């Protein structure tokens, strides 16, 4: 079975086609700058060819149509055809309180996602664009949604409540939702290659450190706390997001600078974080190089970022009554040894003892803790696409089996 995996952003689409159930990626690529005349289209057939084009792409439907057309024209090199795509799996950031597991899409599902668009205005509308485009371009192909916040629907009530008047919070569905759930599922599953038992036998802190960053407390298989909240802004200092801050400070800035709501939103989500603090870049590699060259603002940025990372590890260990495993992933978590070193420094009293040599030489994935460290420190490469493909394959296979069984019963009767 061939599964098309789509992740539609505000001006981008990431796509992948994998054969299942063994998850062999056959095609992958991306489209950037949708809506512009110089949009970028990348298309790669695994181990064969890689192409790149710059051309106008008006919207998500045009982008998906371009990809499918390119796929059709490449069939002789692929070994499968466009008609062989059995299902489409979509990443959807926000499923609200109703959806905590992946679902096959029908009108009731899309209507619900439409109804909660305001909870994720930068994400869900674009996910819907991708869903509607596939319904139009691949009308007979079943589609599945895998929700990014679904993983965190196990949070206890005391962990997701905010200190707002309860009537207002319930009226507008304001609570901690948490994000990067698909990545955390992948991280936990991959960690088992380095653990003696199933991941649900451990108290784990997951650190997903990319341009978007989230920390997660995974207590014997259940997410019980997460740093991102009502939106992906809360929590850790991220590449362009401020993270935790006094809400009154933002109100103060709005008054002093005469900022509109839209301008204030852009300030804390797009102009802050590593970028705003350093004044250099939202790329941690460039900030690190500047800090090594003596740039004090860059050094301040690294110190502030790692302080926040470390604080969440300690907080989650306290919540879980201890810690057994610490997992790093994401572009920074996987590649920035200097960040991992700084985060783990002085945590030996908690049982976190990093092996400096392993930490500097690990490539891709591996254990970076000392042999006798009470807490095992692991680096993995999260694969959200694989999780989406697996969920899609499982749901579509189950649906097919049920339909076949129902048909057989009907024939016998």
pLDDT digits (tens, 9 = 90+) for 66-111: 999 999 999 889 989 999 999 999 999 999 988 778 999 999 999 9
Cα separation, 75 vs 368, in Å, equals 43
362 and 379 Cβ atoms separated by less than 8 Å: yes
Q: What is the CA radius of gyration of the chain?
A: 22
Cα separation, 262 vs 254, in Å, equals 11
Kindly report the average pLDDT of the chain as a whole number. 94
47 and 77 Cβ atoms separated by less than 8 Å: no
Q: What is the pLDDT of residue 199?
A: 98
253 and 264 Cβ atoms separated by less than 8 Å: yes
> 3: which 2 tokens?
């599964």
358 upstream amide cis, omega within 30 of 0? no
Residues 6+ apart with CB under 8 A from 273: 237, 238, 239, 240, 241, 242, 243, 282
The SS3 assignment for 208 reads strand
pLDDT for 407 beyond 70: no
355 and 368 Cβ atoms separated by less than 8 Å: yes
Model pTM score: 0.92
Per DSSP bridges, beta strands 203-209 and 325-329 are: parallel
> 388: which 2 tokens?
């989406």
pLDDT for 388 beyond 60: yes
pLDDT for 411 beyond 70: no
Lowest mean pLDDT among 110-119, 309-318, 351-360: 110-119
Domains, the chain, in order of start with CATH, read: 2-147 (3.30.420.40), 196-382 (3.30.420.40)
The mean pLDDT value for 172-189 works out to 96
| Stretch (H or E) spanning 32 | strand 24-32
- 84 counts as catalytic: no
Buried b (16+ CB within 10 A) or exposed e, 102-126: bbebeeebbeebeebeebbeebbbb
Query: Which of 289, 7, 10 has the alpha carbon at shortest distance from 145?
Result: 7
pLDDT for 280 beyond 80: yes
At 18-77, the pLDDT tens digits run 999 999 999 999 999 999 999 999 999 988 899 999 999 999 999 999 999 999 999 889
Residues 6+ apart with CB under 8 A from 15: 4, 5, 6, 7, 27, 28, 29, 30, 31, 64, 67
Cα separation, 4 vs 392, in Å, equals 9
HSE (CB half, 13 Å, CA atoms) of 229?
17
Residues 6+ apart with CB under 8 A from 277: 237, 297, 300, 301, 304, 305
Place of tokens 């056959």: 26
Q: Which of 148, 225, 324, 391 is the catalytic position?
A: 148
pLDDT for 291 beyond 70: yes
At 199-246, the pLDDT tens digits run 999 999 999 999 889 999 999 999 999 999 999 999 999 999 999 999
Per cent of the chain over pLDDT 70 is 97
pLDDT for 395 beyond 80: yes
Cα separation, 196 vs 260, in Å, equals 53
């Amino acid at each position: 079975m061939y599964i098309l995996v789509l992740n539609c952003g505000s001006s981008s689409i990431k796509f992948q086609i994998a054969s299942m159930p063994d998850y062999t990626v056959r095609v992958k690529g991306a489209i950037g700058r949708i809506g512009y005349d110089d949009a970028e289209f990348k298309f790669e057939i695994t181990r064969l060819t890689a192409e790149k084009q710059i051309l106008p792409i008006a919207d998500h439907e045009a982008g998906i149509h371009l990809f499918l057309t390119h796929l059709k024209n490449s069939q002789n090199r692929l070994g499968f055809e466009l008609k062989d795509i059995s299902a489409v799996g979509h990443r959807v950031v926000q499923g609200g309180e109703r959806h905590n597991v992946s679902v096959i899409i029908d009108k009731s599902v899309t209507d619900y996602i439409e109804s909660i668009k305001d909870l994720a205005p930068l994400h869900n509308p674009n996910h819907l664009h991708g869903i509607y485009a596939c319904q139009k371009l691949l009308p007979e192909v079943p589609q599945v949604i895998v929700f990014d916040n679904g993983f965190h629907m196990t949070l206890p009530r005391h962990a997701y409540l905010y200190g707002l008047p309860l009537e207002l919070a319930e009226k507008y569905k304001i609570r901690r939702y948490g994000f990067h759930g698909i990545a955390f599922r992948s991280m936990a599953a991959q960690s088992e290659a380095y653990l003696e038992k199933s991941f649900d036998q451990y108290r784990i802190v997951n650190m997903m450190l990319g341009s978007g960053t989230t920390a997660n407390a995974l207590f014997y298989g259940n997410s019980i706390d997460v740093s991102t909240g009502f939106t992906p802004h809360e929590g850790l200092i991220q590449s362009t997001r401020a993270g935790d801050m006094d809400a009154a400070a933002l109100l103060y800035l709005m008054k002093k600078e005469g900022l509109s709501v839209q301008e204030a939103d852009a300030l804390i989500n797009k102009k802050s974080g590593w970028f705003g603090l350093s004044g250099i870049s939202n790329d941690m590699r460039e900030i690190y190089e500047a800090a090594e060259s003596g740039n004090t603002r860059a050094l301040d940025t690294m110190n502030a970022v790692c302080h926040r990372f470390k604080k969440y590890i300690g907080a989650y260990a306290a919540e879980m009554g201890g810690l057994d495993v610490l997992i790093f992933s994401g572009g920074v978590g996987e590649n920035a040894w200097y960040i991992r070193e700084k985060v783990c420094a002085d945590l030996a009293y908690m049982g976190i003892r990093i092996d400096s040599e392993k930490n500097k030489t690990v490539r891709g994935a591996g254990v970076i803790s000392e042999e006798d460290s009470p807490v095992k420190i692991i680096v993995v490469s999260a694969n959200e696409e694989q999780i989406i493909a697996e969920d899609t394959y499982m749901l579509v296979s189950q649906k097919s089996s049920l339909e076949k069984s129902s048909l057989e019963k009907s024939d016998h009767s």
